[in-house]
Structure 1
Amino acid sequence: MDLFLMSPPGRGWALRGRNNFRSREAPQVDARQARREWLELARGIEARGGTVVALPSPSELLTGMPYAAECGQVIPREGAPPLFLLPRMMSAHRQAEREYWAPLARSMGLEVVDPGVGIWEAHGDVATFDGATLLFWGGRTTLDGLEAAARYFPGEVVRVQVREPAFHGNMAVLPLPAVDRMLVCPEVIAPDSYARLRERFGEHRLLVVTEDEIRRYATNGLPVGKDLLAPSVVPEAVRARLEALGMRVVSLTMRELCEKGGGSSRCLVSRAEVDAGAVRIPEQYRLAAVAKDIEADA
């Protein structure tokens, strides 16, 4: 099962923390339009074989919940229920979110674990490529937070240090396993970490993008097979390079969630490959149930 944990914006969704380069100066959002943008992405995921689990926000104060990359990380295990590794968020207005994701995870049959140390912003600082797990720190996640989380990941772990404007690793690196390539922005990756990526994966597999291009979300599209669900602001030159490799870039209008809120399609999901028999999905959290509430606003 290609599993995507998501959370739709509420009817009163607004910008609160303004902790990234887009949201700091953005005008206020249109919550109704943001909900429609979210639903288009969620349906696009399911149309391509993914399974969305949608947790509506229990409070209008939890305005960060739609950016579910920070909700936690599902980690499959052989012969045991998958783990759900809770985040330890930097921003105070987001720290209560995990109190709602943890019960959902338990209702799905997952074993909930708290790393217990430092700041760790979960799936936003996790990527997988060529059998390895990449864990990122230096934006918001701290090194001690990374190390506390790392012990729960089986197999090979590659540690990568990033810097602003890549406040998460998912802005610095985008694996594209369907075409055996990875978009990388060396300008926001520490030199020793970038050298580690070249050595482990081979320079010919790393496609370099610039800091200006990641500010336009070049690395924040969501790959589902050979389709990249990407915001319409992704530069045309990046689109052309990806399409030359055999990817199909599917353009999504994300004026509220991305251009104002500062989070792209990849930021709106926490994704994991799990054995379908290892999880159960309560009907009220399936996309069909949550979509009815959003469509009622149309």
Structure 2
Amino acid sequence: EVLWILGVLIYLLMMATAFFGYVLPWGQMSFWGATVITNLFGAIPVVGEALRTWLWGGFSVGDPTLNRFFSLHYLFPFLIAGVVILHIWALHVTGQGNPAGIEVKDPKKDTVPFTPYATIKDGFGMVLFLVLFAYFVFYNPNGLGEPDNYEIANPLKTPAHIVPEWYLLPFYAILRAVPDKLGGVILMFGAIAILFVLPWLDTSKVRSARFRPLYKQFFWIFVVVCLGLGYCGGQTPDKILIHVGDGGFDITDLSRILTIYYFAHFIVLLPVLGLVEKPKPLPASIADSVLPAKAQDQAAS
């Protein structure tokens, strides 16, 4: 659980660092994105107004805000590095997981060495990421950006459609799905906070989806829901998807349905599935889970 919580904390810190960096170009979308996000803290009861004023360094987003965000954007990577060290420490204490999700019975015989197995797996993932990253850096640098951000920040001119960067769009869709400002803020931060308690929400004794066919289906539905929230966050809230009479089914309606499923996946589906789903039989060891059936028979003989 500590290993997982530290991993989610790294994820949260990276999101904050990315947001601070997005403000630094000081374009139209950077300025108004910072205005929208920092205004959310004003909805917090009692301390909201003071917290928002402290973030701004004044009574609106301005030069003091930019200076503070620049400092935080520089300092947060050091904080992330410190949490990564704790994450590695927790990994060595508990031992790394395995694709089969089988509890290790004999640490001397039934563990998967970190090298070369984990290093090769992580190295392969890093190469794939760097290929995608290089594509955007060298061939499509504006592919994920907003054209409005090439305009210098102007407090007197509001863009027609204010959106955060693509990695924050699902949470932005959850925020807009709630008509009440405080309720939207609670659900938006709750969508991240619920990840911290995920180890306690999953009631299944089987740790791998390989042996849980029903859960595997709901997992892919959850992936589609997250992608759908990202799409909704990038669209105007009044965009009509299905016309019905004078009105219709719009982006906000879709965002609300997807938001309900997002939280239901953690609060309802995970606990219930762990109790009612009948998983496939688990192999006796990690080796048995990766060897083909014929190879297992030969090894047994």
Using the size of structure 2 for normalisation, the TM-score is 0.22
Larger helix proportion of the pair: 2
In proportion to residue count, which structure has more strand? 1
Give the TM-score normalised by the residue count of structure 1.
Answer: 0.22
